[in-house]
Chains A and B, each alone.
Chain A
Amino acid sequence: MEALQNDKVRNRKNISRKDGEGRGAMESTSFKDLHESIVFGILVKVPPSYVYKNGRLVCRAWRDLISRDDFIVQNFMETKAELLVGGPTSRRNGYFEVKLMEVEGALQLDCKLRDCGLCRMGRPRSSCNGLLLLNHPKEEGLLQVMNLITTVGLTLPKCPSGCRHKACGSALGFDPNKKEYKVIHMYADSFGFEIFNLAGPPDAAWRIIPGPWEGLQERPYDFERFSWSDPISVNGRVLHWHVASNEYIISMDVSEEISTKTYLPNISEEIESYKYTLAELGGYLSFVYALSDIQVDIWILDDCFRGQIWSKKHSIQLDLIKYVTPENSLLPANHANALPNLSKLVAVAGRGCDILILKHENSCLYIYDMKHRVMKKFKMNMKNPMYFIPHRSSLLHWRNS
């Protein structure tokens, strides 16, 4: 601090010596002279995790600025989208580890995996505006909602259906009309959807609304083998469930709370339910279909509730891919690092409008850029990555919008 101040004094002396009289009074601005609106503009651009852990400890003015509601909202708007990767810890003690993956650069497709700083978490289910829905790590049958950075959280009461949350489809959504967060849970469709409002009173209960089908015979899936999985959330507003059907998926608007069938696009052949996956891409739902070993088609749903128009966005073709070998691979073009068999890849998430992340059976990830047709392999230093949830960090609390 001393050295810095001495430097500043010396600089000022130099200026006045150079220009003689007139300029002596014209000193350059220091950080303290900046207007509060500029300091606000600087701090909102710092990622929420740094702002929370370090920014609040700098001085009182910064601490108060960071706790303001408008700061938190603006800070969230500036954060970049990441992918939350969850898998069981190596010690197999029922806890999960969660890491955050960033994909950078259009052509380089660099990936970085960083720790989120928390251990002993339950299985991550869904993320919305920085809030994470997870299973309770110790007690079966309970769900929790937590902000990943501030670790302020809430445990939800048990579901009326008695679900143990091992094989169900739940998600956290946001209703922009009433500005509240909801947890939507589906275990047995004859029982119905169970919905919990986070902004309600502390002793609130789950509400039950009817399931998507009226009769048991309408179900498209094989009762013996099917279990619900977590839906794809598009911006936290619309949820889409894969129901092992060759014709449609079930969609629900979080604010309306009505489930509808969204019919799948007309592709050139008969759709087989095990060949497609759903992912969120650039704010839209995408339907990724593995036509063969050498071609994968990607379709985008333009509007779920007003026309259900699908458009074919891209076709991944094996012979057109520019494959980028990972830098530190010792064996350049051998079996492990060669282009994968496209039908073995499962789309797990999208990033922005043009990047698709696909998972291979042997737990490697492949990042594919549609604009430039570049594919790159990414080997993660994680034991068994199972869950991939698009995530954007924030300091939001579920009680403020």
Chain B
Amino acid sequence: MLYAIFGVQTFLQRDLELRNLSLFNRRKGFSYLFQKSLLFPFSISFFLSQGFIYLFLLSSRKSSSPAAIMSSSSPKMITLQSSDGETFEVEEAVAMESRTIKHMIEDDCANSSIPIPNVTSNTLTKVIEYCKKHVEAKSDEEGLKSFDAEFMKIDKDTLYDLLMASNYLDIKSLLDLGCQTVADKIKGKNPEEIRKEFGIKNDFTPEEEEEIRKESPWVFD
């Protein structure tokens, strides 16, 4: 529609210019000046009205966007911004996997991009990958299970980053999956191995340790 308006405008302007030229060619004089002086404000007002019409259409389009979404086939996209400035565009359904983002959208504070201050772009990429898969393949239990197993084959640091991110973004399934992965690592290790694996310092005194180790021999009241 804008093009149509533009086209009409250029046509009219060209017409005016031609008229101008013809006027100029024909005769100089008062009538020429009169016509020219008329033409100039006319074109300006025409141009201004164009602008107003354009702005009006833009605002009406913006306010009727939900209606437009209903009728259009492309889903609404949400922009997320990681702590190091990278932006990610995701479908609304995928972003809503995070309850934190879901509340933001529902409270209507998510018109432009949503900043996610404590999550780096690497971690956010992985989180989005997880949410995407879980939205797409929602009913395929077997497929999701194997995806989850593959997804968790990552190094420790990435895993801890993922845990922090899913805790902040409140994505329960990812948090549970991450916690279960770490829990499986703890299971079956003795205390020294656990300390080594997680870099924990042993802050017990020998007496405290002995007290815990003493098997309560069938304490019966």
Chain A residues positioned under 8 Å from B84 (CB to CB)? 22-23, 26
Binary B-proximity of A23-44 (CB < 8 A = 1, otherwise 0): 1001011111111011001111
> Which has the most chain A C-beta neighbours within 10 Å: B158, B186, B196, B221?
B186
A106 to chain B minimum Cβ distance, whole angstroms, is 11
B-contact 0/1 string along A131-166, CB 8 Å cutoff: 000000000000010100011111100000000000
| B-side contacts of A60, CB under 8 Å | 203-204, 208
Does B41 sit at the interface, judged by CB under 8 A? no
In this complex, what residue of B is CB-closest to A5?
B199
With a cutoff of 8 Å between Cβ atoms, the chain A residues found around residue B164 in the complex are 29, 33-35, 38
Is A333 engaged at the interface, CB distance under 8 Å to the other chain? no
Mask of B61-90 contacts with A, CB within 8 angstroms, 1/0 = 000000000000000000000011000000
What 0/1 readout, one digit per residue, does chain A (1-39) give for beta carbons within 8 Å of chain B? 100110010010000000000110010111111110110
B186 touches A55 (CB 8 A): yes
> Does A154 contact B203, Cβ atoms closer than 8 Å?
no
CB of B191 closer than 8 Å to a CB of A: yes
Measured CB to CB, the closest approach of chain A to B212, in angstroms, equals 6
Q: Does A307 contact B (CB under 8 A)?
A: no
* CB atoms of B216 and A45 under 8 A apart: no
Q: Which of A32, A42, A150 has the most CB of B within 10 A?
A: A42
Among the listed stretches A46-54, A248-256, A266-274, A294-302, which one makes contact with chain B, having 4 or more residues with CB under 8 Å of it?
A: A46-54
Q: Does B144 sit at the interface, judged by CB under 8 A?
A: no
Q: Which residues does chain A contribute within 8 Å of B179, judged by CB atoms?
A: 38, 41-42, 44-45
- Given the contacts A30-B199, A38-B167, A59-B195, A50 and B187 also touching, CB distance less than 8 Å: yes
Point out the residues of chain B lying under 8 angstroms from A50, CB to CB.
186-188
Please report the C-alpha to C-alpha distance between residue A154 and residue B18 in the assembled complex, in whole angstroms.
Answer: 110
Tell me if B3 is interfacial: C-beta within 8 Å of chain A. no
Complex: A309 Cα to B212 Cα, angstroms: 51
- A 184-195 binary contact with B (CB < 8 Å = 1; else 0): 000000000000
The range of chain A's interface size is 35 or more
Report which of B120, B196, B221 forms a contact with A202, defined as CB distance below 8 A: B221
Nearest neighbor of A22 in chain B, beta-carbon distance: B84
A45 touches B183 (CB 8 A): yes
User: Is B189 positioned at the interface, with any CB of A under 8 Å from its CB?
Assistant: yes
In the complex, the answer to whether A42 meets B183 with C-beta atoms within 8 Å is yes
Q: Which residue of B lies closest to A19 (CB)?
A: B84
Q: How many Cβ-Cβ contacts under 8 Å join chain A to chain B? A: 113
Q: In the assembled complex, which residues on chain A have CB atoms less than 8 Å from the CB atom of B204?
A: 57, 59-60
Q: How far is the CB of A197 from chain B (nearest CB, A)?
A: 14
Residue among B158, B167, B200, B216 making CB contact with A152, cutoff 8 Å? B216
* A261 adjacent to chain B (CB < 8 Å): no
Q: Which residue of B lies closest to A47 (CB)?
A: B187
* Interface assignment of B93: CB less than 8 Å from any CB of chain A: no
| Docked complex Cα distance between A300 and B167 (Å) | 41
Contact among A30, A46, A57 with B213 in the assembled complex (CB-CB below 8 Å): A57
| Contact, CB under 8 Å: B220 / A59 | no
**Is the CB of B38 closer than 8 A to any CB of chain A?**
no
Q: In the complex, are the beta carbons of B220 and A144 less than 8 A apart?
A: yes
Which residues of chain A come closer than 8 Å to B107, judged between CB atoms? none
**Segment 129-169 of B: residues with Cβ below 8 Å from A:** 156-158, 160-161, 163-164, 167
Q: How far is the CA of A32 from the CA of B120 in the complex (A)?
A: 18
Known interface pairs A32-B199, A34-B164; A46-B183 also in contact (CB < 8 Å): yes
The CB with the most chain B CB atoms within 10 A, among A26, A55, A59, A155, is that of: A59
Q: Does A242 contact B (CB under 8 A)?
A: no
Structural contact, A45 and B220, CB atoms closer than 8 A: no
Interchain nearest-CB distance for B192 vs A (Å): 9
Residues of B within 8 A of A373 (CB): none
Q: Given the known inter-chain contacts A31-B199, A54-B194, A59-B203, please indicate yes or no for A155 contacting B220, CB distance below 8 A.
A: yes
Known: A46-B186, A146-B218. 5 other contacts (CB 8 A): A11-B157, A30-B157, A31-B156, A32-B200, A34-B160
15 contacts between A and B (CB under 8 A): A1-B196, A1-B199, A5-B199, A28-B158, A37-B167, A43-B186, A54-B189, A54-B190, A57-B209, A57-B213, A59-B195, A59-B204, A60-B208, A151-B217, A151-B218
Residues of B within 8 A of A (CB): 83-84, 120, 156-158, 160-161, 163-164, 167, 175-176, 179-180, 182-183, 186-191, 194-196, 198-204, 208-209, 212-213, 215-221
Which 7 pairs, one residue from A and one from B, show the smallest C-beta to C-beta distance? A45-B183, A28-B157, A57-B191, A31-B198, A41-B179, A29-B160, A42-B179
> A residues bordering B, Cβ < 8 Å?
1, 4-5, 8, 11, 22-23, 26, 28-35, 37-38, 41-47, 50, 54-60, 62-63, 144, 146, 150-155, 202
